[in-house]
Amino acid sequence: MYYYHAAWRDEGIFAQLNVDLTALARVKAGRDPQPTAAVIDTQSVKTSTNPPTSTQGTDAAKKIVGRKRSVVTDTLGLLLVVIVVAASVTENRAGIEALDQLKAAYPTVVKTWVDAGFKNQFVEHAATLGIDTEIVPRNTETRGFHVVKRRWVVD
């Protein structure tokens, strides 16, 4: 069974299924099938002691030994891209990799929202891809996760 999973993964079948299903869900929600905006975030997560040390690292800022996942969603919250790297990879580097995959799969994306962990290198790379990036500041008065209002004006 794993043979088929690995073959389909390597041939990009699962990635294409995600693109196609995302388009169907967007149409059902009354949206254009191709997204024009996305939200990108990264999170460091602890791993057990079993994974190979070459696949994990230490996030110095959060003092977490593990991996870092970068998730890209459209404005409906539909999953567009996910990458997993060692936690030692910077948020910028992981975000750039996710951004490259996003633009390859969804060339219509022209706007992204990110948190303050993304720096100028990310913003400049996004600009070379034709993507405007807005860094959304965190509300320091609220603890934990909270929704931050965004503005998106269609020209």
Beta partners for 111? 37, 132
- Kindly list the structural domains of the chain, giving each domain's residue range(s) and its CATH number in brackets, ordered by start: 34-135 (3.30.420.10)
Q: Are 117 and 42 in contact (CB under 8 A)?
A: yes
- At 54 the pLDDT is 64
- Across the range 142-154, mean pLDDT stands at 59
Three-class DSSP category at 135: strand
To which H or E segment does residue 31 belong?
none
Alpha-carbon separation of residue 113 from 95, 129, 131, 132 (angstroms) = 12, 15, 10, 9
- At 111 the pLDDT is 95
Establish how many alpha carbons lie within 13 A of residue 25's alpha carbon, considering only the half-sphere containing its beta carbon: 15
Taking the C-alpha atoms of residue 29 and residue 127, their distance in angstroms, rounded to an integer, is 29
Residue 52 pLDDT class (50, 70, 90 cuts): low
- At 155 the pLDDT is 37
Whether the per-residue pLDDT at 57 is higher than 80: the answer is: no
- As a whole-number percent, the residues of the chain with pLDDT over 90 amount to 56
User: Over the Cα atoms of the chain, what is R_g?
Assistant: 17
- Across the range 42-69, mean pLDDT stands at 74
